[in-house]
């Protein structure tokens, strides 16, 4: 797999480069609430622009349903990206239409053009190869008009598990390179899967067991400790025969959880206490109860302090840690203690013992930033999300496979 240095070392003055970035950040009332993915995309874009490339960036935001939607415009992203890059970022008003064509043709060395949300075009996510190919051809024609000898840089690791036009199909049509972010993420995941330094601990949270079952099945035989919190823990607790009140529960996953507990129960750490509330609201009455004594009508919304202490003791022995998913509803102060406590425990063993720690998934990374834990206290903050989980499961990721081996069936 060729990387960014291979492309830059050849000289880029006058050349055009199409970059697939991951700029899918959360917005509230048009304001970016967590710019982590934009910040992670900057080094590759800066390297290309400073090398004299004429840079055309394509990315998506949310799920606009294959049509233009002002709520999902990349306008706020363009402004933040320009601020971080320290140079103008032009924003096309369409994906491959007249606005994009005019702006691309006028690019000069070092210029950066951001195309509008690529998912405004339904061909981006089409299951039809010909439809995706037509959009890929349009993107190639667009970047070809911007400069000579065009190339493609894949730098959105969070989308490499998708066989989409701007991720996969363009890589079959242009000389393709992995961006710095994709190279870094790939190396981190290699360290987690090939020969991790032991003890190896995995911390999983989030809402549903079904979202994480693949990675649990793949990693449980390989890890020394599997720590489970978040909404998904209540299905495990129910599988042990405990009542969970009105907590999130997936009845269809109970047998799966029982099977996992029977096979890997000596490695699985579950909460011993939980923070419960009468309602899903920041001002609802709350209490902390043993995990096997959740009252009827109450909802579990965070792991409790005794669980944090138990998890911290186990994590303190680890030398490799992968964390994906918050321990509770960290957006509400009353239910942020579990996520904060586990994050602090991981940061401490990273700082004090040199453990290799990876924070994976948008929610976990957002929690680190919003709770002001300090990103520098972890070895790596991943932007991969679902792509990271699929890689850990051993799945073939089309956007990586095409960089390594060319087109795949």
pTM: 0.89
The number of residues in the chain equals: 409
Q: Among candidates 178, 143, 138, which has minimal Cα distance to 160?
A: 178
Q: Identify the active-site residue in 337, 362, 384, 399.
A: 362
**Average pLDDT for residues 232-260, to the nearest whole number?**
97
In this structure, how many other beta carbons lie within 10 angstroms of the beta carbon of residue 79? 13
Contact 182, 409 (CB under 8 A): no
In this structure, how many other beta carbons lie within 10 angstroms of the beta carbon of residue 16? 24
- Is the Cα torsion angle 101, 102, 103, 107 positive or negative in sign? positive
What is the predicted pLDDT for the residue at 371?
92
Catalytic: 241?
A: no
Q: Identify the active-site residue in 37, 123, 132, 310.
A: 37
What is the predicted pLDDT for the residue at 250?
97
Q: Identify the active-site residue in 2, 208, 222, 377.
A: 208
What share of the chain has pLDDT > 70, as a percent? 99
The β-bridge partners of 227 are: 203, 269
pLDDT tens profile 13-33? 999 999 999 999 999 988 999
pLDDT tens profile 178-218? 999 999 999 999 999 888 999 999 999 989 999 999 999 99
State how far the Cα of 358 lies from the Cα of 116, in Å rounded to an integer.
32
Task: Kindly report the backbone phi and psi dihedral angles of residue 3, in degrees, each rounded to the nearest multiple of 5, phi listed first.
Answer: -115, -175
Contact 238, 274 (CB under 8 A): no
Contact 17, 55 (CB under 8 A): yes
pLDDT tens profile 335-354? 999 999 999 999 999 999 99
What is the predicted pLDDT for the residue at 407?
61
Task: For residue 179, give the 3-state DSSP assignment.
Answer: coil
Token pair of 209 as six digits = 């067991």
pLDDT tens profile 272-296? 999 999 998 888 999 999 999 999 9
The β-bridge partners of 18 are: 56, 152
pLDDT tens profile 78-117? 999 999 999 999 999 999 999 999 999 999 999 999 999 9
Alpha helices in 126-179 (DSSP H): 129-146
State how far the Cα of 365 lies from the Cα of 389, in Å rounded to an integer.
15
Instruction: Compute and round to an integer the Cα radius of gyration of the chain.
Output: 22
In this structure, how many other beta carbons lie within 10 angstroms of the beta carbon of residue 233? 29
Residue 362: pLDDT band with limits 50, 70, 90: confident
Helices 98-105 and 129-146 pack at an angle, to 10 degrees, of: 30
Decide if pLDDT at 271 tops 50. yes
Decide if pLDDT at 409 tops 50. no
**Average pLDDT for residues 130-141, to the nearest whole number?**
98
What residues form the annotated binding site for ATP? 212, 300, 331, 361-364
Catalytic: 360?
A: no
């Amino acid at each position: 797999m060729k990387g960014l240095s291979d492309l830059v070392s050849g000289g880029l003055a006058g050349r055009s480069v199409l970059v697939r970035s991951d700029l899918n950040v959360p917005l509230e009332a048009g304001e970016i609430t967590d710019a982590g993915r934009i910040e992670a995309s900057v080094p590759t874009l800066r390297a290309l622009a400073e090398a004299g490339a004429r840079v055309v960036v394509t990315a998506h935001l949310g799920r606009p349903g294959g049509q233009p939607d002002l709520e999902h415009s990349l306008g706020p992203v363009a402004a933040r990206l320009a601020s971080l890059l320290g140079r103008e970022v032009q924003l096309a008003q369409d994906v491959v239409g007249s606005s994009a064509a005019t702006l691309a043709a006028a690019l000069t060395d070092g210029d950066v053009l951001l195309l509008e949300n690529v998912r405004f075009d339904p061909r981006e996510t089409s299951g039809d190869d010909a439809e995706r190919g037509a959009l890929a051809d349009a993107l190639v024609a667009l970047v070809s008009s911007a400069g000579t000898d065009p190339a493609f840089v894949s730098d959105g690791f969070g989308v490499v598990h998708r066989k989409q036009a701007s991720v996969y199909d363009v890589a079959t049509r242009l000389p393709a390179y992995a961006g710095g972010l994709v190279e870094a993420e790939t190396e981190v995941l290699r360290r987690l899967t090939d020969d991790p330094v032991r003890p190896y601990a995995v911390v999983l949270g989030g809402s549903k067991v079904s979202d994480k079952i693949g990675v649990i099945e793949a990693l449980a035989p390989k890890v020394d400790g599997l720590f489970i919190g978040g909404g998904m823990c209540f299905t495990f607790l129910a599988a042990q025969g405990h009542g969970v009140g009105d907590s999130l529960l997936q009845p269809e996953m109970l047998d799966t959880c029982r099977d996992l507990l029977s096979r890997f129960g000596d490695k699985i750490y579950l909460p011993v206490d939980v923070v419960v509330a009468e309602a899903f609201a920041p001002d609802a009455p709350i209490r902390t109860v043993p995990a096997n004594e959740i009252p009827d009508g109450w909802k579990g919304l965070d792991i409790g302090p005794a669980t944090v202490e138990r998890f911290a003791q186990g994590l303190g022995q680890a030398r490799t840690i992968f964390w994906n998913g918050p321990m509770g509803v960290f957006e509400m102060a009353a239910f942020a203690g579990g996520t904060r406590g586990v994050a602090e425990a991981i940061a401490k063993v990273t700082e004090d013992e040199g453990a290799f720690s990876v924070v994976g998934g948008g929610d976990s990374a957002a929690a680190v930033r919003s709770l002001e834990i300090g990103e520098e206290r972890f070895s790596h903050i991943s932007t991969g999300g679902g792509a990271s989980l699929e890689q850990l499961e051993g799945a073939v990721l089309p956007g990586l496979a095409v960089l390594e081996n060319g087109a795949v069936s």
